[in-house]
Structure 1
Amino acid sequence: MRGLSFDIVIVGAGPAGLAAAASAARSGASIGLLDDNPRIGGQIWRGGIEQVPTLQARRWMARATTDTITALQRARVLAPLSTDTLLVELPDGAVKLHFKRLILATGARERFLPFPGWTLPGVMGAGGLQALVKGGLPIEGQRVVVAGSGPLLLAVASSLTQKGARVQYIAEQTTWTKLAAFGLRLPGYPKQLRQASALGWGLRGVPLHADAWVTGAHGTERLETVTIQSRQGQTEIACDYLACGFGLWPNTELATALGCEILDHAVRVDPWQHTSRQDIYCAGEATGIGGLDLALLEGQIAGFAASGQGEAARACLPERERTQSFTRHLEHTFSLRPELKKLSSADTIICRCEDVTYQEVQRHPGWRSAKLQTRCGMGPCQGRICGAATAFLFGWTQDSVRPPVTVGRVSSLIHTQEDAHSHQPEEDTQ
């Protein structure tokens, strides 16, 4: 198996990974930038430099395109083979990737909470529906309900409206009191105030309801109506799509497999974005959900710190602290209400991969017991959906990650199975 070697390897080419690569490149270090998508930009800047709509995105992509940065697209990290080697699957075969320092910028995914009917066709993640529409899914004239929690709801609703969707209702589960208190703080954050104002203008005429959440989705072959609980009682709304999301959930699987400490479901880092593992750094949503601006700052700090540019890293710290203060306001404002834990009925599916119901898992004391007895979390997604749901519903944590970290071809694994289990380095062969 062939091998590649870099001074710094960065896993993830979203905003945090791009900022880390651009910052580290200033040192002259050789950098490998990995992402499993066909173009750099991650989930938020999809489509690569030719298609992203903002000048900020194009600038960061351009900065991360230099002679010292090798971008490896459609690259999946399957497993750590040793303390300084990853098994990576590329389109033309697997490679051993050696690094001196590693920066994890693995991002986050949408958090779904189960409710009756959430598995019906037409019920989708808010960001997932937005991505499909950007990829060509026809949405013009379609009736859409957007529900869940967080600023992503407004961004998705605005994007869908621009594409011709008929957004019928935005259901935000947090309270009007929290939203009002958050609004009073916005003048202290001019950039975020401008963003909120632009979203509000783009959604004029679209009804936004706080203290409102989905209690059920209904239909025979696919989604037909949704039931919304609000202060006024229950309302049933006819729709073609339900775009639903309850915030984001950090992608920590690779960090866990590498032995990095996880705290409150996110990778624990110090002020320099250094993890509990020597020579491994982490930046962006994997360290905790903080948004685009914080991801860019953390990426810069990680890139500078990993490449020995301590003063440049230090210069970013005050702005990161300011951005983190805004993030703390967001966390408080959009914290999930306890009523959401009671949405599932006995036969509501919790693990979609293995068709495990709420009744089957609720009798277990923890994740390991439920997994062993019901196969919850043992399907193709390996607990990426039900793990986040059971963390909210029951306070469970996933206590281990086994290689492969993500799906891969058998041909990529068959010659390295012994390596992945023993974590012993091996000489490269051509």
Structure 2
Amino acid sequence: MNTSLPQPAPARCDILIIGAGPAGMAAALAAAPSGAAITLVDDNPEAGGQIWRDGPGASLPPLARQHREALARHTNITLLRGTRVVGLGDAPTAGEAPTLLLEDAEHGWAQHSHRLILCTGARELLLPFPGWTLPGVTGAGGLQALVKAGLPVQGQRIVVAGTGPLLLAAAATAAKAGAQVVRVAEQAGWRALAGFAMQLPRWPAKAMQALTLLQPQLRAGSHVLEAQGDGQVQAVRLRTPSGEESIACERLACGFGLVPNTHLGQMLGCALGGPLSHGLGLQVDAQMRTSVAGVYAAGECTGFGGSERALAQGALAGHAAANHTTPVQALQATLRRWEGFAQALQHSFALNDALKTLARPDTLVCRCEDVPHAELVGRSGWIDAKLRTRCGMGACQGRICGAATQQLFGWTPAPARHLLAPARIATLAAAPGDPPG
């Protein structure tokens, strides 16, 4: 596998894959036997994505190591670490996929390809509540990533709240690092959890995993009301079936589900759709093709269902992009199996409407631009809110508050048109013109 840094001149490849999580890795490995020149791009230091994130506090599962080793054996796969997509390049020629502007720590360049596979994953849904901007309050997945990166949590009291299996995974990671998990507050009720547990034998590996992640401090039908503290979170107030409860803690990790990372796909013109994302993920057909010619998508940018679903979709996309037909039928059967698991997740961990009413008038919704909830009430939509309050115009470019306002007000954030992230002038200068022959 070629891992050298890219040159500043425009580059070409046969298949360009954005995102080196399970879906992206599976796509690259499925396409590799064709001999196609494959470029795999990720902004992290190593392949693996969020679920297989590496770091001083991480212990990679065997499957993740196997995929990394398999990537390294293919000389036609180039892995670009620490590299991100910042925008669109010049118009593609006939038979090519859209051109993307890529940037790493040293260079920016226009990347041309014949096929493009989007494996951009998902991010946590963070809903505003009083005190959610206090130091020590993070997302549940955010806490897990920080611990894997080496954040010391030894002896700290941690409350994990929100919904979904990620809560238990984050709690287990923190506990393994020496933290004291004092509460896991799951907003879904015991009946919903029991119904989900009864279905798990359909996926034996998931059933075994659930048993290893169970926490004695798990409480169902509970959700966060407020984080309290002076300059740092010191306690969390929870709503429980028996009333309110206050728990002292040094950290609070909240995750209310996932939001597909569709910004790049939408900028390319890909349509949204699909029941596994409530219509918020990239729409794909049985061969993982999006509505834009030459562009495929796989993994949690199309909906949620765990690494197994992402691996199946990634392999399908890789084979389709390389014009392989033989393995597709077996992979589609595997995908249907894991989409059943995804549907069980969606049904069991549907958000309680009470979570959408936690914010007070002075609770910040847009943290980047300090926009409180009161300034957004009565706005006609996302664009009106941006123009009147600068909501979504800060460093995260609406990735956090855009998803929150979609839940709170039903707004649909408009996709970017040309640039996905701040970029250097030299990178933008690489956009126009034709690549060298």
Shorter-chain TM range is over 0.9
| Matching residue's letter, 2:327 | A
| Matching residue's letter, 1:34 | V
Q: 2:82 aligns with which of 74, 88, 91?
A: 74
- CA distance in 1 between counterparts of 2:389 and 2:329 reads 49
Structure-to-structure mapping, 1:117-128, within 5 angstroms: 117-128=131-142
Counterpart check, 1:270 vs 2:285: yes
Map of 1:304 onto structure 2: 319
Contact residue 41 and residue 48 of structure 1 kept, 8 A: no
Q: Which secondary structure does the structure 2 equivalent of 1:382 belong to?
A: coil
- CA distance in 2 between counterparts of 1:324 and 1:427 reads 42
Counterpart check, 1:5 vs 2:20: no
| Matching residue's letter, 1:85 | T
Map of 1:423 onto structure 2: none
Contact residue 20 and residue 304 of structure 1 kept, 8 A: yes
Counterpart check, 1:292 vs 2:300: no
| Matching residue's letter, 1:247 | G
Map of 2:3 onto structure 1: none
Unaligned runs of at least 5 residues, structure 1: 420-425
Q: Deviations over 1:274-310 (max 9, x none)?
A: 0000010000010011111100000000000110011
| Matching residue's letter, 2:54 | G
RMSD value, Cα: 1.7
Map of 1:97 onto structure 2: 111
Contact residue 185 and residue 223 of structure 2 kept, 8 A: yes
Contact residue 301 and residue 314 of structure 1 kept, 8 A: no
Q: 1:18 aligns with which of 21, 25, 35?
A: 25
Map of 1:143 onto structure 2: 157
- CA distance in 1 between counterparts of 2:407 and 2:187 reads 15
Contact residue 130 and residue 360 of structure 2 kept, 8 A: yes
Q: Which secondary structure does the structure 2 equivalent of 1:284 belong to?
A: coil
Contact residue 108 and residue 430 of structure 2 kept, 8 A: no
Contact residue 354 and residue 379 of structure 1 kept, 8 A: yes
Contact residue 40 and residue 48 of structure 1 kept, 8 A: no
- CA distance in 1 between counterparts of 2:401 and 2:192 reads 28
Contact residue 116 and residue 343 of structure 1 kept, 8 A: yes
* TM-score normalized with structure 1 length: 0.94
Map of 1:422 onto structure 2: none
Contact residue 49 and residue 58 of structure 1 kept, 8 A: no
Map of 1:399 onto structure 2: 414
Contact residue 274 and residue 302 of structure 1 kept, 8 A: yes
- CA distance in 2 between counterparts of 1:186 and 1:291 reads 14
Counterpart check, 1:129 vs 2:143: yes
Structure-to-structure mapping, 1:147-186, within 5 angstroms: 147-186=161-200
Map of 1:339 onto structure 2: 354
Deviation at 1:247, TM superposition (A): 1.1
- Tell me the number of residue pairs that the alignment of Structure 1 and Structure 2 aligns: 418
Contact residue 349 and residue 355 of structure 1 kept, 8 A: yes
Map of 2:231 onto structure 1: 221
Map of 1:53 onto structure 2: 60
Q: Which secondary structure does the structure 2 equivalent of 1:98 belong to?
A: strand
- CA distance in 2 between counterparts of 1:134 and 1:188 reads 30
Task: Quote the sequence identity (%).
Answer: 47
| Matching residue's letter, 1:257 | M
Deviation at 1:407, TM superposition (A): 2.8
Contact residue 19 and residue 64 of structure 1 kept, 8 A: no
| Matching residue's letter, 1:403 | H
Q: Deviations over 1:189-241 (max 9, x none)?
A: 211111111112xx3xx311111000000111110111000111000110000
Q: Deviations over 1:119-146 (max 9, x none)?
A: 0001011111111112121101000000
| Matching residue's letter, 1:251 | N
| Matching residue's letter, 1:27 | S
Contact residue 55 and residue 150 of structure 2 kept, 8 A: no
Unaligned runs of at least 5 residues, structure 2: 1-7, 93-97, 274-278
